[in-house]
Amino acid sequence: MLLPLNDAIVAVVCQLIDDSTAKRAGGDFREPTHSDIEFLVNKFGLAALDPKQQGQQVGKAKRVRAILHETMVGDEEAGARLVHSLLIKVRACGGFRKGSDNYVGDEAIANAKSAFDSEGFWLAEDGTFGAKVLDGLKGPEMTAALRLYALRAQRGSEDAALLMGTGKDLMEATAAHVLTTIAGRYPESANFKALLGMAFTSLGLAVPEQDAEPGEPPAKELERGLFTAACGANKLRNKGGTGHGRPWTVNVGAAEAKAAIEVAGAVSAYLLDKLQARAR
């Protein structure tokens, strides 16, 4: 799912690549370089909109701003894809890592987070980003979005365990996506354990109800353990009577909550990996 292209998003993206202030203060230019920007601009067929390639002497922020404003009225999708690639490049250069020569600064990141939030996207401290609301996504787009949430959950990010805007637990949403991808639908009335069990079996994974067979691969025991841990994490979420997909209550300790979030990430990532392997 692409970021919407509007004045606010354009402004914060330009802040993330603007190194003119640092240069005026006697510092060095930051990456990405003009050459990096040109490569991405040409990749998306936007050379004709690039003032620098048309002979003008402009800084990086002014250059990108001019290109993106033109795409807003001409080719918004290409502009949005350029934004995504620029953000990935800034992250790869260390732009979101304090201590890096290419760190963009606290204010630029805070401004970007605020702008992303207003458009229904999250931006993490490490520069990863994605849609908060997954309703309407399907197929590879849903797989990619869920994978981002799974990776964040594995790092203990609480908002990743509860998919904002959907009311679905990450594992529940992943199980539903697996079944929809394989069978075209999923039983919306099924409880968590039943839904997860159907997702596991549809991928050929072992569940605790299936006895171990002589000579079976060691991974089968791992799969049973993941299923058990997933059900335990789900019960922990509901232990205080908070219901499906709701935030943690005061009854749940920080250590237990963190462990449950990381379990959700590990189980979801495993299901998505198996789904991807099945499609090959």
pLDDT tens digits, the chain, 280 residues: what are they? Answer: 688 899 999 999 999 999 886 554 445 688 999 999 999 999 999 999 999 999 999 999 999 999 999 999 989 999 999 999 999 999 999 999 999 999 999 999 999 999 998 887 889 899 999 887 777 778 888 898 888 888 878 877 666 665 544 556 889 999 999 999 999 999 989 999 999 999 999 999 999 999 989 999 999 999 999 999 999 988 887 544 333 444 455 577 878 888 888 999 999 999 999 999 997 7
- Asked, for residue 188, whether it belongs to a domain, the answer is yes
Q: Are residues 99 and 42 in the same domain?
A: yes
Listed in order, strand segments (DSSP E) in 109-238 are 121-123, 129-131, 162-163, 168-169
- Asked, for residue 128, whether it belongs to a domain, the answer is yes
Q: Are residues 236 and 128 in the same domain?
A: no
What separation, in Å, do the N-terminal and C-terminal C-alpha atoms of the chain show? 23
- Asked, for residue 170, whether it belongs to a domain, the answer is yes
What pTM does this model have?
Answer: 0.65
What residues contact 100, with CB distance under 8 A and at least 6 apart? 93, 94
CB-CB contact of 199 with 173 (8 Å)? no
Q: Are residues 194 and 260 in the same domain?
A: yes
pLDDT reported for residue 235: 84
- Asked, for residue 154, whether it belongs to a domain, the answer is no
What is the span of the domain harbouring residue 28? 7-132
Q: Are residues 183 and 92 in the same domain?
A: no
- Asked, for residue 100, whether it belongs to a domain, the answer is yes
Question: Within 13 Å, how many C-alpha atoms sit on residue 61's CB side?
Answer: 17
Q: Are residues 89 and 174 in the same domain?
A: no
- Asked, for residue 208, whether it belongs to a domain, the answer is yes
Domain boundary among the residues 132, 155, 188 is at 132
- Asked, for residue 228, whether it belongs to a domain, the answer is yes
Of 17, 271, 257, 55, whose CA–CA distance to 146 is shortest?
271
Q: Are residues 60 and 116 in the same domain?
A: yes
pLDDT reported for residue 151: 84
pLDDT reported for residue 244: 42
CB-CB contact of 131 with 137 (8 Å)? yes
Quote the number of domains for the chain: 2
Q: Are residues 71 and 118 in the same domain?
A: yes
Burial class (CB in 10 A: 0-12, 13-18, 19+), 41: buried
Q: Are residues 174 and 69 in the same domain?
A: no
Q: Are residues 128 and 176 in the same domain?
A: no
Give CA–CA dist 121/164, Å, rounded.
Answer: 10
What residues contact 88, with CB distance under 8 A and at least 6 apart? none
Domain boundary among the residues 79, 111, 132 is at 132
Q: Are residues 207 and 126 in the same domain?
A: no
Q: Are residues 106 and 44 in the same domain?
A: yes
Q: Are residues 182 and 94 in the same domain?
A: no
pLDDT reported for residue 24: 47
pLDDT reported for residue 160: 64
Give CA–CA dist 237/246, Å, rounded.
Answer: 8
Give CA–CA dist 200/267, Å, rounded.
Answer: 10
- Asked, for residue 143, whether it belongs to a domain, the answer is no
